[in-house]
Amino acid sequence: MSVAQESVTVLVASAQAAEGAGDWDAALALFESALEGASEEPNAARSCELLRCIGRVHFERGAYERASELYQASLATAQAAGLHQETAAALNAIATTGRLRGRPDVVERAAALLRELGNDRAAAQAFNNLGTVSVDAADWGAAEMSFAAAKELAERVDDPRLLGLIQVNQAAMYVLRQNLPAARACCDAAHAIFSQLGSERGLAEAHRLYGAIFREIGQHRRAEMELQLALRLAQSCGHELLEAEVEDETARLLVAQGRTREALQALNRAARLLEATAVRREVTDVQRRLDRLEETYFRTLQLMEFESVEATNPATVGRYERVADLACRLAAALGCTGRELTWLRIASYLYDVGKASLPVELLNKAGALDEAEQSLMRTHAAGGEELVAELGFPAPVRELVRSHHERWDGGGYPDGLRGADIPLNARVLAIAGAFAALTGDRSFRPALSPAEALQTMQADAGSVFDPELLRLFPSVLAPSPVPE
């Protein structure tokens, strides 16, 4: 081995170590230095590999466009040198990136080229990817054809693990389409394959889908048993992403049973697992999975709102959804994005959850509360924080639930926070909650118009409300957030 080759080998080893530690900048710099060194002693295969390595780092960071460019460069180098193995590796990387970019055309082209190369195993993987992209796009015909092609190729190369994965993806598709007999047949086939292979991860996937199937046909006890088994298997093989997916599926089952508190606990466990995975950057589509998790969160929170004590008063129905909408508009105008907005929206449904422990007569009293009643009412903020902590919600939600009745002048509760010491989104939530309350009918007064509500709130600018936020608030009101 020449000195240059030894240097490249050392650089690659260091780059791989940095990549494993999540130090992406160092990994990129080292891989790029290795690529420069490899070009000094032309070695097309090595260059192809390093281009893919650099692309992989960008891929792991979520820079799919840049990753795709590097994979294409690896492909061009491999094709020019007539390197079939490197060509196949580049096409497989292109197909995987195309799946996460939602580009069925890219995946299909890669799959076709792999088939032409005679690399049936890689082509089967690419067609399986194409099937999942088509499912995400609800293009059922394309998904069916892709999975059929993938299955044919996987059978040709006698790859049972890949066959099992294809069956799992087909089962997931059939659950979405509510073709439950077909979903059950695919699950049975996958279960048989993974049992023979002794694959805990594969069996966890199968049992997760069994849980979804039995939930959909109303066999809730059987669904719960399947999901408990799936969770144990996912934990046993240390697959946190799969564990999170099982928790999400469990939450959907609990929602179907009306068990909202348990559903929220399952969702919070799933969110913690996904966010921990995102921090370690072990997978690249965590954000998409977190976005899907939000759908279950809001279905659960809407059910909780419907079941709440205040729901006995028809005038309050839908108020928390309006508060969430207003709060997120105002926060977005302040530059808040991503998970911060998600937790604000969730807190907007939960900020009054502590009232569940208060007497109904107090909540629906017509007229002003006396001193003792006001003192009891004030306990709901700290009590709400305790409850959301028990449910497993993270600190951003807990602090909003606790602080939404703090006042800009320090006269609020439970902690008497003043001015900028009050969390920003708690100040946002206070404004949104007050506006929704004023523009809705209450037991002791009719609804105010939006203009009247704003005028009333302006009188409290600098005392109750953050004056700068209140000045911005009217600009986010259109379209009207209140019902006709």
Q: Give whichever of 212-226, 272-286, 340-354 has the largest mean pLDDT.
A: 212-226
Q: How confident is the model at residue 374 (pLDDT cuts 50, 70, 90)?
A: confident
What's the pLDDT at 309? Answer: 47
> For residue 296, what pLDDT is reported?
82
Q: How far apart are CA 287 and CA 241, in angstroms?
A: 12
Contact 369, 443 (CB under 8 A): no
Higher pLDDT, 350 or 217: 217
| pLDDT higher than threshold 90 for residue 444 | no
Token code pair at residue 469: 């936020």
Mean pLDDT of 3-27: 81
pLDDT reported for residue 328: 94
Segment 104-127 mean pLDDT? 88
Predicted local confidence at residue 424, as pLDDT: 95
Count of CA atoms in the C-beta half-sphere (13 A) of 373: 12
Please work out, in degrees rounded to the nearest 5, the angle formed at the alpha carbon of residue 338 by the alpha carbons of 334 and 339: 110
**Rounded Cα gap, residues 163 and 452, in angstroms:** 64
At residue 483, the pLDDT reads 40
Q: Which residues contact 3 (CB under 8 A, 6 or more apart)?
A: none
- HSE of 191 in the Cβ direction (CA atoms, 13 Å)? 16
What was the pLDDT predicted at 266? 93
378-414 exposure pattern, b = at least 16 Cβ within 10 A, e = fewer: eebbbbbbebbeebbbbebbbbbbbbbbbbbeeebbb
Highest mean pLDDT among 10-24, 206-220, 263-277, 334-348: 206-220
Which H or E run contains 22? none
pLDDT value at 314 more than 80: no
The DSSP call for residue 41 is: S
451 or 299, greater pLDDT: 451
Instruction: Point out which residues pair with 61 in neighbouring strands.
Output: none
Query: In the chain, what's the furthest Cα-to-Cα distance?
Result: 89
Provide the token pair at 362: 């107090």
Q: What is the pLDDT of residues 43-71, one digit of tens each?
A: 888 889 999 999 998 888 778 889 999 99
- Supply the pTM of this predicted model: 0.74
By CB atoms closer than 10 A (0-12, 13-18, 19+), residue 458 is middle
Q: Are 98 and 284 in contact (CB under 8 A)?
A: no
Phi (first) and psi of residue 217, to 5 degrees:
-95, 10
154, with CB counted inside 10 A (0-12, 13-18, 19+), is buried
DSSP labels for 251-317?
Answer: HHHHHHTT-HHHHHHHHHHHHHHHHHHHHHT--S-HHHHHHHHHHHHHHHHHHHHHHSGGGGSGGGT
Identify whether the C-beta of residue 263 lies closer than 8 Å to the C-beta of residue 251: yes
Element (H, E) at 178: none
Domain 318-476 sits in which CATH superfamily?
A: Hypothetical protein af1432 (1.10.3210.10)
Q: Which residues contact 393 (CB under 8 A, 6 or more apart)?
A: 264, 268, 346, 350
What's the pLDDT at 253?
Answer: 95
- Tens of pLDDT, residues 474-483: 999 865 444 4
pLDDT computed for residue 111 by the predictor? 85
SS3 content of the chain, % helix, strand, coil (to 5): 75, 0, 20
For residues 409-435, give the mean pLDDT: 95
Q: How many CB atoms lie under 10 A from the CB of residue 459?
A: 10
Of 99, 15, 28, residue with least CA distance to 57: 28
What whole-number distance in Å separates Cα of residue 67 and Cα of residue 15? 17
Token digits of residue 112:
């076709």
**Cα 273 → chain centroid:** 11
**Rounded Cα distance, 360 and 447, in Å:** 21
| 4 or 185, greater pLDDT | 185
pLDDT tens digits, 90-99: 988 898 888 8
Task: Name the average pLDDT for the chain.
Answer: 86
* pLDDT value, residue 156: 93
Please list, in sequence order, all residues whose beta carbon lies within 8 angstroms of the beta carbon of residue 448, skipping any fewer than 6 positions away.
438, 439, 456
| Over residues 16-22, mean pLDDT | 83
**List of residues 6+ apart from 63 with CB closer than 8 A:** none
**DSSP per-residue codes, 71-105:** HHHHHHHHHHHT-HHHHHHHHHHHHHHHHHTT-HH
User: Cα separation of 211 and 249, whole Å?
Assistant: 8
